[in-house]
């Protein structure tokens, strides 16, 4: 199956270095982008999606979610959250730990239990594409007493992320640093909870002191999840480390503005990543990633293209997943959208710069239509994309 997306008015690449490009059409084949602006004789496709001058961007990558079992989350007694996030433009999600399992005793986690939880989740919730979304789940919650054999078992089960949240950091750093070393030797990446105590009540406070020696791959929700580290620690972390810094919907908005301003001033925006840190106490937020983009672009001095690149290419790269960038050979995870009737923006970039929510019509994951005609979570955009048959010029029904 091949698909041509044409009549593109605004194209967002997901690459921070070049966040927009004057692209008019993309050809998708076998789930990947086969060509950008193909010449007319190579632009034949089984289906043609005319986006009517609207915008095309990469599917959003939520770098911080807390799944439990498939589409069910006990954190807010909700079913179908992943499908709802898809309709908010999210096509990939990375688990920051499956810590909402009913009955879990945070104060008595053992190496066997946390390893088993990650293995079971990778083999169940992480095995299936719920609502089509790429959910990378099965993230182990590091606890004291783990041995290299536990990391062998995790790697064999396909676990890719290790999360420090309930780990009681001590003056002796040997064990935690062993975990980081063992993880990286097996292709796993390390994320650490930062800031004050989490909703669990059992996480430890983590600021620059711990980050400076632990050197994780990603420091989670550095502007609050929900309580941020101190301003001094934020500044030191930006100035004296080089790893990725994540901002989440669980944020303290004032601290986020501080983090982003300092990253811009230090020319370090490539380190900024984004997530929702949901489901959780912050809720279930289908439009959470979009709202983060809007906050960055309307209140934190990022251009709309930069804000989208942080929510896509930056976040994917920091987590080692091959999504978030629209280029030849990349997975065709695509959001088609535009400004909503009544918005201050006449273009998508203009609307985002004003902080106005975009309207989504179509979402593709690996070239397959996951949302068709319009999102059930956003108003429709003023200009609606539609399928047409290029050979006959006849339009297919646009549906409801």
Contacting positions for Zn ion (CB under 5 A): 96, 277
| Distant-in-sequence, close-in-space partners of 136: CB < 8 Å, separation ≥ 6 | 92, 93, 94, 95, 126, 160, 161, 319, 321
Give the shortest CB-277-to-Zn ion separation in angstroms.
4
Quote the least distance from Cβ 363 to Zn ion, whole Å: 25
Closest CB to Zn ion among residues 75, 302: 75
CB closer to Zn ion, 125 vs 343: 125
Least CB distance to Zn ion at residue 197 (A): 12
338: how many CB neighbours lie within 10 A of its CB?
A: 29
For the chain, how far is it from start to end, CA to CA, in angstroms? 25
Helix (H) or strand (E) holding 148: helix 148-156
Quick one: 233 or 277, whose CB is closer to Zn ion? 277
Instruction: List C-alpha distances in Å: 16 to 56, 58, 89, 109, 287.
Output: 16, 12, 19, 40, 22
Both structure tokens of 235: 């500044």
Min dist. Cβ of residue 16 to Zn ion (A): 24
Q: Which residues contact 155 (CB under 8 A, 6 or more apart)?
A: 186, 187, 188
Nearer to Zn ion, 20 or 139 (CB): 139
Report the residue number, 11 or 166, with the smaller CB distance to Zn ion. Answer: 166
Find the residue with minimal CB distance to Zn ion: 277
Neighbours of 8 (CB within 10 A): 24
The nearer residue to Zn ion, 132 or 226, going by C-beta atoms, is 226
Nearer to Zn ion, 55 or 75 (CB): 75
The minimum distance between CB 66 and Zn ion, in angstroms, equals 6
Closer to Zn ion by Cβ: residue 249 or 314? 249
CB of 194 to Zn ion, least distance (A): 10
CB neighbours (10 Å) of residue 391? 8
Q: Interior CA angle at 325 toward 283 and 374, to 5°? A: 55
C-beta separation of 12 from 58 below 8 A: yes
Smallest gap from residue 399 Cβ to Zn ion (A): 37
Q: Report the relative pairing of strands 386-388 and 47-50 from DSSP bridges.
A: antiparallel
Residue 112: CB minimum distance to Zn ion, A = 23
Q: Which is nearer to Zn ion, 217 or 277 (CB)?
A: 277
Estimate the crossing angle of helix 111-123 against helix 148-156, to 10 degrees: 10
- Which tokens sit at 386? 């539609």
Q: What letter would DSSP give residue 190?
A: E
CB 99, min distance to Zn ion, A? 8
Nearer to Zn ion, 11 or 81 (CB): 81
| DSSP class of 187 | T
What is the smallest separation between the CB atom of 96 and Zn ion, expressed in angstroms?
5
Residues 6+ apart with CB under 8 A from 333: 58, 59, 91, 92, 134, 323, 324, 364, 365, 366
């Amino acid at each position: 199956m091949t698909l041509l997306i044409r009549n593109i008015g605004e194209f967002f690449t997901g690459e921070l270095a070049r966040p927009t490009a004057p692209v008019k059409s993309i050809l998708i084949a076998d789930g990947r982008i086969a060509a950008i602006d193909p010449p007319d004789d190579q632009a034949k496709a089984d289906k043609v999606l005319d986006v009517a001058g609207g915008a095309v961007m990469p599917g959003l990558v939520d770098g911080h979610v807390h799944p439990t079992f498939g589409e069910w989350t006990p954190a807010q007694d909700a079913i179908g959250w992943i499908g709802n996030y898809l309709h908010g433009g999210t096509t990939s999600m990375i688990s920051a730990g499956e810590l909402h399992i009913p009955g879990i005793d945070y104060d008595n986690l053992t190496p066997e239990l946390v390893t088993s939880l990650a293995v079971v989740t990778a083999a169940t919730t992480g095995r299936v594409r719920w609502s089509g979304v790429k959910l990378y789940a099965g993230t182990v919650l590091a606890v004291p007493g783990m041995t290299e054999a536990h990391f062998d078992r995790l790697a064999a089960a396909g676990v890719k992320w290790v999360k420090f949240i309930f780990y009681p950091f001590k003056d002796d750093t040997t064990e935690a640093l062993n975990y980081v070393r063992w993880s990286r030797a097996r292709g796993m990446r390390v994320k650490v909870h930062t800031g004050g105590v989490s909703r669990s009540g059992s996480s430890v406070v983590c600021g620059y002191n711990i980050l400076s020696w632990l050197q994780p791959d990603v420091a989670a929700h550095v502007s609050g999840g929900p309580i941020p580290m101190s301003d001094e620690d934020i500044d030191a972390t930006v100035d004296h480390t080089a790893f990725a810094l994540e901002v989440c919907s669980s944020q303290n908005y004032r601290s986020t503005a501080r983090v982003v301003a300092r990253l811009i001033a230090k020319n370090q925006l490539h380190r900024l990543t984004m997530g929702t840190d949901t489901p959780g106490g912050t809720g279930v937020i289908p439009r959470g990633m979009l709202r983060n983009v809007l906050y960055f672009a309307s209140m934190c001095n990022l251009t709309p293209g930069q804000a989208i690149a942080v929510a896509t290419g930056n976040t994917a790269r920091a987590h080692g997943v091959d999504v978030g960038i629209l280029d030849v050979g990349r997975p065709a995870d695509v959001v088609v959208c535009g400004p909503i009737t009544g918005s201050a923006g006449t273009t998508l970039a203009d609307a985002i710069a004003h902080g106005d929510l975009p309207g989504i019509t179509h979402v593709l994951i690996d070239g397959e239509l996951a949302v068709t005609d319009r999102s059930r979570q956003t108003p429709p955009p003023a200009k609606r994309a539609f399928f047409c048959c290029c050979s006959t010029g006849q339009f297919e029904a646009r549906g409801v």
